[in-house]
Amino acid sequence: MPLFKEILSWAVECTIVIVIAYTMVSFFGLRTSVVGNAMSKTLTNDEQILVNRFIYMVSSPKQGDVIVFLPNGNEKSHYYVRRVIAGPGDTVWINDGAVYVNGAIYNEAISVSSIEDAGIAADEIVLGADEYFVLGDNRNHSEDSRLANIGNVKKEYIIGKAWFYFDGIGDMGLIH
């Protein structure tokens, strides 16, 4: 009888852990893959990423965050992964290959190439109260806020913050 109680205790504890893990992943996390090379050197095509869906329920995206979103809320589209350049109320302008936010050149935390096509950001763009301007790290091979079909990303279309990548054993880490 003591052995049966011990086995039952272990089974109950394992079940509780599995239920908690499933709940955490279902409601707070998401695993998806990167589509395309718009974020390369930071992330590559088909790389798996973990997305924190909870963080933007209690805070807002910040400059430099790598976010996952659905363009224009299109649920039939794949998830887009891009870097936040500017947030609500900011003014964005791309001139001579450089990004300006609120009149000052945007200080990149990563090394990126000069932008060849400013797209709709060739003229100043003023972001609305719930809008974000995003760019891929591979600036000249990215479908992002410079294009009219993507445009500014509304907060309601943001799925979460990409925070961890993995592409096999030994190739994993935090996303910066």
Dist CA 159 CA 67 (whole Å): 8
Paired strand residues for 92: 101, 125
Q: Is the dihedral of CA 50, 61, 80, 105 positive or negative?
A: negative
Residue 92's CB: how many other CB atoms inside 10 A? 22
How far apart, in Å, are the Cα atoms of 85 and each of 49, 103, 104, 127, 163? 20, 13, 12, 11, 17
Is 46's pLDDT higher than 80?
yes
What is the pLDDT confidence band of residue 1, given thresholds at 50, 70 and 90? confident
pLDDT reading at 109 higher than 90: no
Mean pLDDT, the chain, as a whole number?
A: 92
Predicted local distance difference test score (pLDDT) of residue 139: 93
Which residues, other chains included, contact 129 with Cβ-Cβ below 8 Å and sequence gap of 6+? Answer: 88, 89
Contact 70, 85 (CB under 8 A): no
pLDDT band at 108 (very low <50, low <70, confident <90, very high): confident
Distance from C-alpha of 57 to C-alpha of 173, rounded to nearest angstrom:
24
Q: Tell me: pLDDT of 32 over 90.
A: yes
Residue 16, SS3? helix
Long-range own/partner contacts, residues 15-24 (CB < 8 A, 24 or more apart): none
Q: Are 150 and 80 in contact (CB under 8 A)?
A: yes
